[in-house]
């Protein structure tokens, strides 16, 4: 006999009157312990109310939009008495026809092998329910209770489980089909031993479930033609492994909407069940760069073109440096939310003083370039704004503030872009920075830089001033959080309050990781940097 128990809302913590956003079952449905029954949503999270035991849903007293609290009764569940468990296996009649034996209900099992047709169980009041996902394909091996297809009504989505274990010979439905109770889903070659092992645990539910009238006729109907095999480039969520994930229908629906392969998500619920929050956390980790993007990040591919069809071409391989830097720049651009702040710095006095000093500096073997002044000003700005000199931790939960200042600078070479590093720039005066800048630039052009010369930068400067340009958007050199772009200076009329004066203005392009630096901090940084470039005496001050 079956006993009837109340389905009670478990402890919801501090939440009361939580809204029901989805009802996952209907009266007559067979459920296993921990299967989701309804989905609740607060202002912080959504979660399922699980079945307290295995059995058949006798009634539900709630609907979508209702509000429930801890201890509320939401329905009745019929569970089997323990004395039934021992006798039931012996009462199961074996199937006698290998070619037309049908598992006619959601809980029915058979101990015979051969080919069987898996059909849709009783759907209650629903008819012509849409198939939104086919979780199996020809050749797949399924176990008892493995999902076969996912159906969706206007109120809920539900999985149709396998009632026997075996190998799928053919699939009889496609995504978009409308099916009702008793419709044929697939033909399976039953594995006898697996069925025999699983049958005793599941049979108590079968004794309370009657086969729908349409099931018998469905088994006699000719099988539909097998659909064409899916193309090889289908997304990962279409793979049969998706069906193996331990998740409720509402979680599967969320995963489909977000394009998440549940096989890649680690569940935090009971028995490693995947919850809504697990799917959302997985997506968040991808978007914030805390974990690698699966299968190329889901980005569309650019078209492949045979350029030789339109004329003569010359194919030249990328240099070794281009092969290394290209993927790193792409990874930074994809994973970091880039924003660029453009500004102008008045360097009139700085350039006048540099012209006076560069002659004596050249006699000492030092090329006193404008970049040396910019780097010295950046040291002061990084000390004033230490967040710009930091890095985001790998898990994205904290910032790593560096108590050293190593400045990288982009060097244009025949082999491609290189970024040598001036270490401890905060401990060097402008002449020491200028000297090391010249030495590293020469080594870069000659291809003689060592690994130590290219590592450890905390901030990078990319100067195009010697070539031209008015502004650009440099890509952050991750794991740094910002980069400064410098374009060519030009004489511009600047209003002083009473008249226009010709001033030498230097364009600054400050790109930053918006997860670490916001717009207000960025403009304060460039403003302070401009002030430092205008204060020549401060830049020329010797290191104590």
Q: Please give the positions annotated as active site.
A: 514
Residue with tokens 């064409």: 228
Structure token digits, residue 340: 């660029």
297 phi, psi to nearest 5 deg: 75, 5
DSSP line for 174-235: -TT-EE-TT-EEEEEEE-HHHHHHHHHHHHHHHTT-PPPHHHHHHHHSPPPPPPPPPPTT--
Q: Distance (Å, rounded) from C-alpha 12 to C-alpha 209?
A: 32
230-263 burial, b at 16+ Cβ within 10 Å, e below that, comes to eeeeeebbbbbebbebebbbbbbbbbbeeebbbb
Cα–Cα distance, 7 to 207 (Å, whole number): 21
- d(CA 263, CA 222) in angstroms, rounded, equals 35
Cα–Cα distances (Å) from 7 to 34, 49, 52, 60, 246, in that order, read: 12, 9, 7, 9, 22
| Cα distance between residue 442 and residue 509, in whole Å | 26
Q: How far apart are alpha carbons 242 and 264 in whole angstroms?
A: 9
CA pair distance 105, 397, nearest whole angstrom: 50
Q: Which region, left, alpha or beta, applies to residue 262 given φ > 0 means left and ψ of -120 to 50 means alpha?
A: alpha
Distance of CA 410 to the CA centre of its chain: 32
Closest CA to 429 of 519, 544, 277, 328: 544
Cβ atoms 387, 399 nearer than 8 A: yes
**Dihedral, 360, 364, 367, 369 alpha carbons, nearest 10:** -50
Q: How far is CA 353 from CA 197, 349, 435, 529, 539, in A?
A: 90, 6, 18, 18, 11
């Amino acid at each position: 006999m079956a006993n009837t128990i109340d389905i009670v809302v478990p402890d919801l913590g501090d939440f009361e009157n939580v809204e029901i956003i989805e009802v996952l079952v209907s009266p007559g449905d067979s459920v296993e312990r921990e299967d989701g029954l309804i989905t609740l949503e607060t202002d912080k999270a959504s979660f399922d109310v699980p079945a307290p035991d295995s059995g058949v849903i006798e009634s539900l007293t709630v609907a979508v939009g209702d509000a429930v609290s801890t201890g509320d009764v939401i329905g009745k569940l019929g569970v089997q008495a323990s004395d039934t468990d021992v006798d039931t296996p012996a009462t199961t009649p074996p199937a006698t026809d290998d070619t037309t034996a049908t598992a006619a209900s959601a809980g029915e099992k058979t101990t015979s092998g051969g080919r069987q047709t898996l059909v849709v169980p009783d759907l209650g009041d629903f008819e012509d329910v849409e198939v939104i996902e086919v979780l199996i394909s020809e050749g797949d091996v399924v176990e008892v209770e493995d999902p076969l297809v996912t159906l969706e009504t206007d109120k809920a989505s539900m999985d149709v489980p396998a009632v026997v274990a075996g190998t799928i010979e053919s699939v009889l439905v496609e995504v978009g089909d409308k099916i009702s109770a008793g419709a044929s889903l697939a033909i399976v070659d039953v594995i006898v031993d697996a069925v025999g092992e699983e049958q005793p645990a599941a049979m108590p539910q079968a004794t309370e479930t009657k086969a729908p009238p349409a099931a018998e006729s469905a088994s006699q109907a000719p099988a539909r033609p097998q659909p064409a095999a899916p193309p090889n480039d289908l997304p990962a969520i279409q793979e049969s492994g998706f069906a193996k994930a331990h998740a409720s229908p509402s979680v599967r629906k969320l995963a489909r909407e977000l394009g998440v392969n549940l096989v890649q998500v680690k569940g935090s619920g009971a028995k490693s069940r995947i919850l809504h929050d697990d799917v959302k956390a997985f997506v968040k980790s991808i978007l914030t760069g805390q974990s690698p993007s699966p299968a190329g990040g889901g980005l569309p591919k650019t078209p492949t073109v045979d350029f030789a069809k339109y004329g003569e071409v010359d194919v030249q391989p990328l240099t070794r440096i281009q092969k290394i830097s290209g993927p790193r720049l792409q990874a930074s651009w994809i994973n970091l939310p880039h924003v660029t702040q453009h500004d102008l710095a008045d360097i009139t006095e700085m350039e006048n003083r540099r012209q006076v000093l560069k002659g004596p500096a050249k006699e000492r073997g030092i090329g006193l370039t404008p970049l040396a002044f910019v780097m010295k000003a950046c040291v002061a700005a990084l000390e004033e704004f230490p967040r710009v000199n930091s890095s985001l931790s790998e898990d994205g939960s904290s910032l790593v503030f560096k108590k050293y200042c190593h400045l990288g600078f982009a060097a244009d070479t025949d082999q491609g872009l290189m970024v040598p590093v001036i270490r401890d720039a905060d401990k060097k005066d402008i002449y020491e920075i200028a000297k090391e800048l010249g030495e590293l630039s020469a080594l870069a052009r000659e291809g003689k830089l060592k690994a130590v010369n290219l590592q450890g930068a905390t901030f990078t400067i990319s100067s195009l001033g010697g070539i031209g340009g008015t502004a650009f958007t440099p890509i952050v050199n991750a794991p740094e959080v910002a980069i400064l772009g410098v374009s060519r200076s030009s004489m511009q009329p600047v209003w002083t309050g009473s008249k226009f004066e010709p001033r030498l203005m230097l364009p600054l392009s400050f790109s930053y990781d918006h997860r670490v630096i916001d717009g207000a901090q960025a403009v304060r940084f460039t403003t302070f940097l401009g002030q430092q470039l205008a204060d020549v005496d401060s830049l020329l001050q010797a290191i104590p």
